Amino acid sequence: MNNKKTYSNADAVDVLHKVSNFYINTKVPHDYGTGEVYTSVEVHTLKEIADNPDTTLTELSKNTGKTKGAISQILKKIEKKGLIYKEIDKNNENRFFLRITEKGKILNDCHKEYDEKHFGESMNIVREMFSEEQINTTFEVLEAWLNIRRKVQERRIKEKK
User: pTM here?
Assistant: 0.80
Report the pLDDT value the prediction gives residue 25, as an integer from 0 to 100. 63
- Give the domain ranges of the chain: 29-129
Q: Where are the alpha helices (DSSP H) in 81-131?
A: 102-129
Q: Which CATH architecture has domain 29-129?
A: Orthogonal Bundle (1.10)
Q: Count CB neighbours of 153 within 10 A.
A: 12
Q: Count CB neighbours of 106 within 10 A.
A: 15
Burial of 101 (0-12, 13-18, 19+ CB in 10 A): middle
Q: Count CB neighbours of 115 within 10 A.
A: 15
Chain segment 98-113, per-residue pLDDT in tens: 999 999 999 999 999 9
Q: How confident is the model at residue 50 (pLDDT cuts 50, 70, 90)?
A: very high
The answer to whether 55 and 49 have CB atoms below 8 angstroms apart is yes
